[in-house]
């Protein structure tokens, strides 16, 4: 293998493949990046137990300025290789496989010779049937991930809850995540109906996926196998394992009749919650109290050691019974951030029953649920 290429373009591809490479792996070859050069172009692959990323750079890509002298493949230790490329003196560099898997990296007067590994020993990526595909814009997928991914469980005690549950049926894609204290569910319409599915994708995989996309306007093709999902764009194949097991029936958790409803502008409410949580974070219980009456809505935070805070909240509309309810402000902050700068309606049943948050704009099918904290 021998090629000459633009350093920045290569670095860009490498950092995408590196998202899947962990230095903690127990399989030595997986600390490496697999480099494959064909007459069509250059592909880089990184992989760990959960995800694999394969990038592709076309031989005709102008920015890459790729010269292919000899096709071939090699695996190079990822971290070092990246640091070397980053510090090379010139805009272009040459990579050449010598004997015994040694690799020469030259740029200007600098000549590195590093030890590589035989690409034949690199594990094969899953083979996924690409007939059964869902196509959606990257922007839409990224939005669903940011609207639900934060609500997955961080604890391995119930592994299935560390993923986001995706259900495709009736030309609708539903995504829901819960850590059993709060829940976030988003439904979007899907054109081009394809075969229905019901899968659970690890939250961490989705986060890396979101960060790996480079063009929000592109379409991504989603293909599913028994225990793997592939997200495919023009320049990247992103594989993730699926979580096994039955996701709980979250539909029955969402209440549908309420006694108190109040509308807020999200950024205003979020700022007030952030202030109230400054003191609650220091208390024994991380809770803030919301008090709703027909003419005044107030939030309280308290820490016996530091002091207390109260703030009369600006709201858009309130209906129903007066209420005092306490909750973890961190769940509220996460929920509000997922909505962005819109108006939401918060609906309560009683101080001990979960409450919901939804956009005032009823065209958007997005609901969040937060379990309150009992204070007596």
Expressed in percent and rounded to 5, the helix, strand and coil fractions of the chain are 25, 40, 35
- What does the alpha-carbon distance between residue 161 and residue 245 come to, in Å, rounded to a whole number? 10
Is 311 a residue that touches a copy of itself (CB under 8 A)?
Answer: yes
Q: Which is nearer to a copy of itself, 98 or 352 (CB)?
A: 98
The CA angle 352-356-362, to the nearest 5 degrees, is 155
Q: How far is the CB of 306 from a copy of itself (least distance, A)?
A: 6
Query: CB under 8 A: which stretch of 121-129, 165-173, 192-200, 268-276 binds a copy of itself?
Result: 268-276
Is 307 a residue that touches a copy of itself (CB under 8 A)?
Answer: yes
Query: CB under 8 A: which stretch of 193-201, 211-219, 275-283, 339-347 binds a copy of itself?
Result: 275-283
Q: How far is the CB of 360 from a copy of itself (least distance, A)?
A: 22
Which of residues 2, 139, 241, 275 is near a copy of itself by CB under 8 A? 275
Query: CB under 8 A: which stretch of 66-74, 109-117, 153-161, 230-238 binds a copy of itself?
Result: 109-117
Q: Which is nearer to a copy of itself, 206 or 309 (CB)?
A: 309
Q: Is 56 helix (H, G, I), strand (E, B) or coil?
A: strand
Find out whether 49 and 20 touch, Cβ atoms under 8 Å.
Answer: no
Query: CB under 8 A: which stretch of 1-9, 83-91, 315-323, 344-352 binds a copy of itself?
Result: 83-91
Is 272 a residue that touches a copy of itself (CB under 8 A)?
Answer: yes
Is 139 a residue that touches a copy of itself (CB under 8 A)?
Answer: no
Task: Name the residue among 182, 223, 110 with its Cα closest to residue 331.
Answer: 182
Q: Which is nearer to a copy of itself, 85 or 369 (CB)?
A: 85
Task: Name the residue among 204, 143, 205, 153 with its Cα closest to residue 175.
Answer: 143
Q: In 213-256, at which residue ranges do the beta strands (DSSP E only) sit?
A: 219-224, 228-232, 236-241
Question: Tokens standing for 364?
Answer: 């958007």
Q: How far is the CB of 240 from a copy of itself (least distance, A)?
A: 31
Is 78 a residue that touches a copy of itself (CB under 8 A)?
Answer: no
Q: Which is nearer to a copy of itself, 197 or 315 (CB)?
A: 315
* DSSP letter string, 254-285: S----SEEEEEEHHHHHHHHHHHHHHHTTSSS
Is 221 a residue that touches a copy of itself (CB under 8 A)?
Answer: no
- What does the alpha-carbon distance between residue 45 and residue 18 come to, in Å, rounded to a whole number? 8
Sign of dihedral through CA atoms 159, 162, 163, 165?
positive
Q: Which residues bind a copy of itself (CB under 8 A)?
A: 77, 80, 83-84, 87-89, 102-103, 109-115, 271-272, 274-275, 278-279, 282, 305-314
């Amino acid at each position: 293998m021998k090629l000459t290429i633009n350093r920045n373009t290569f670095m860009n591809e490498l950092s995408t493949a590196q998202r899947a490479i962990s230095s903690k792996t127990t399989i030595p070859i997986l600390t490496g990046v697999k480099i494959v050069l064909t007459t069509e172009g250059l592909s880089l692959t990184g992989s760990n137990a959960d995800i694999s990323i394969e990038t592709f750079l076309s031989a005709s890509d102008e920015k890459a300025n790729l010269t292919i002298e000899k096709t071939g493949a090699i695996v190079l230790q990822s971290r070092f290789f990246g640091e070397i490329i980053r510090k090379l003196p010139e805009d272009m560099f040459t990579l050449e496989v010598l004997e015994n898997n040694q690799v020469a990296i030259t740029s200007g007067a600098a000549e590195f010779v590093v030890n590589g590994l035989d690409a034949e020993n690199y594990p094969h990526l899953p083979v996924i049937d690409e007939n059964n595909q869902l196509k959606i814009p990257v922007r839409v997928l990224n939005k669903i991930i940011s609207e639900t991914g934060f609500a997955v469980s961080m604890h391995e005690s119930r592994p299935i809850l560390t993923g986001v549950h995706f259900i495709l049926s009736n030309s609708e894609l539903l995504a829901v995540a819960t850590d059993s204290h709060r829940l976030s569910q988003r439904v979007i319409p899907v054109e081009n109906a394809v075969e229905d599915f019901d899968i659970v994708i690890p939250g961490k995989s989705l986060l890396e996926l979101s960060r790996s996309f480079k063009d929000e306007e592109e379409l991504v093709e989603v293909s599913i196998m028994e225990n793997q999902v592939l997200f495919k764009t023009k320049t990247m194949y992103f594989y993730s394992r699926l979580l096994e097991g039955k996701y709980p029936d979250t539909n029955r958790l969402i209440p549908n009749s309420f006694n108190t409803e109040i509308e807020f502008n999200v950024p205003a409410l979020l700022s007030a919650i952030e202030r109230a949580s400054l003191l609650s974070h220091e208390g024994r219980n991380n809770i803030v109290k919301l008090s709703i009456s027909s003419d005044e809505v107030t939030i309280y935070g308290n820490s016996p050691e530091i002091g207390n805070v109260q703030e009369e909240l600006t709201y858009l509309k309130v209906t129903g019974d007066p209420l005092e309810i306490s909750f973890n402000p961190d769940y509220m902050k996460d929920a509000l951030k997922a909505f962005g700068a819109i108006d939401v309606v918060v609906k309560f049943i009683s101080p001990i029953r979960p409450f919901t948050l939804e956009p005032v704009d009823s065209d958007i099918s997005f609901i969040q649920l937060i379990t309150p904290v009992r204070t007596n």
